[in-house]
Structure 1
C-alpha cells in the first residue's frame, strides 16, 4: 500500500488510492461506525430531547471504546479518590454523546468521500476544511487497532519485524499504514 496524502495547496490535500486501499479504508471506517454506535441514550430523533440528553456516567467496558472515550479526570492505572471519580462521571455524562456524534460524523465523512470514488481507486481531493475531520477519523482507527493489537509505545518498532505467519500481521499492516496516512495528511494540510 503506497497511497499517501500530498499537499494540494491552501491547506487542501490529495491522495491516490487504488481499489484495494479505498476498500480497506472504507471497511475500517464502517467497522468504526459500528463500534462507536449511537451510545446509550444517543439515538433520539427529537432534536430538543437530544440537546438535553445525558450520556453514560461510567467508562465503556470495551477497552477500545474506553480508549476512544477516556475519563477526563484521574489516571486509569492508579486508584483515585471518590471526588475525582465523581468528577469524571459528571464530565462523561455531559460530553460523551457529543463526542460520539463527532466521531461518527468524522467516520461518515471518510466513508462518503470514498463512496465518491465509485468503488474504484482514484484520486481523492480533500478541501482544507475536511482535513481535520479525516485526521480525527484516522486517529480513531489507529487508536482502536492499537488497543486490539495491545500495542505499547515502546513495542511499536517490533511490529515491523512480525513474521508473515503471525495472524496479527494484516491488522499490524493496517495500523502502520494508518499511521503513515495520518502523518502524510498532517504534513499536507500544514503546507
Structure 2
C-alpha cells in the first residue's frame, strides 16, 4: 500500500502516507483553492446565486487557463477564416459565462475534500497514516489530483509528452526539480486511484 492506492472492501480506496506526503498534498490543495478563488461571493439569495453569470473571457493566469480551457477552441486546428475564429470566440465566451462558476465550485469542493480527509487522519506510530476514502471521496480525490497535475504541468510548461520526457532528465540542481518530482508522484497516485476505482 505505501505510495499507491488499493481497493477497500465494499468500495473506496486506501493509501499509506507519511507526514511529508500528507503535508505536500495538503499544501498543494490549499494553493489550488487560493488559485481558484472563493467563488462569486456569499449571497443571501440562493436562487440569484444559482443564476449568477460567470466570466466571459479566459483567465489571464496560464494555470487557470489550463484548468478552465475554452470550450470551442482546438489549439491544433486553425480556424478556416476570421469569421470562423470570431464565431468560436463568441461560443467559447457564452459557454464560459454559464459554466465556469459551477466548474470552479466543483474544483473547490474536491480540493476541500482532500484537505478535510487529510486533516481527519489519525497518525500511526511510524509518523504516517492510512487514508481510507469512500467511493465518493475517491472520486473527489481523483478530480483534485487531476487538477493539481494540470496546475503543476502548466507551471512547468508541459504541453506534450516531449516536454514531460525532457523534464525527467533535469539535473538535481535545476530549481524546477522539486515541482517535477511532485508532478510525477501525483501522477502515480492518480494512476493507482484510477486503477482502484475501475477494479
What TM bracket, shorter-length normalisation? over 0.9
Deviation at 1:38, TM superposition (A): 2.8
Match of 1:134 among 132, 138, 141: 141
Whole-angstrom CA distance in 2 between matches of 1:163 and 1:9? 42
Q: Which segments of 5 or more consecutive residues in structure 1 lack a partner in the other structure?
A: none
CA spacing shift, 1:73–1:159, aligned 2, 3 Å? same
Q: How does 1:141-160 map to 2 (within 5 A)?
A: 141-151=148-158, 152-160=160-168
What is aligned with 1:170? 178
TM-score (norm 2): 0.89
SS at match of 2:174: coil
Whole-angstrom CA distance in 2 between matches of 1:176 and 1:147? 14
SS at match of 2:56: coil
What is aligned with 1:65? 64
What is aligned with 2:41? 43
Larger Rg: 2
Render the CA deviation track for 1:60-79: whole Å, top value 9, x for unaligned: 01010001001111224645
Whole-angstrom CA distance in 1 between matches of 2:38 and 2:75? 24
Render the CA deviation track for 1:141-179: whole Å, top value 9, x for unaligned: 000000101123222223222211010011000000010
Name which of structure 1's ranges 152-161 and 106-115 shifts more when overlaid on structure 2.
Answer: 152-161
Render the CA deviation track for 1:77-116: whole Å, top value 9, x for unaligned: 6455222111111100000000000000000000000001
Match of 1:81 among 72, 76, 85: 85
The question of whether the paired residues in 1 share the 8 Å contact of 2:73 and 2:92 is answered with yes
SS at match of 1:9: coil
Q: Which segments of 5 or more consecutive residues in structure 2 lack a partner in the other structure?
A: none
Whole-angstrom CA distance in 1 between matches of 2:168 and 2:96? 36
CA RMSD of aligned residues (A): 1.6
The question of whether the paired residues in 2 share the 8 Å contact of 1:5 and 1:185 is answered with yes
List 4+ stretches of structure 1 deviating above 6 A. none
How many residues align? The count is 188
Match of 2:102 among 98, 105, 115: 98
CA spacing shift, 1:76–1:43, aligned 2, 3 Å? farther
SS at match of 1:81: helix
Whole-angstrom CA distance in 1 between matches of 2:35 and 2:128? 26
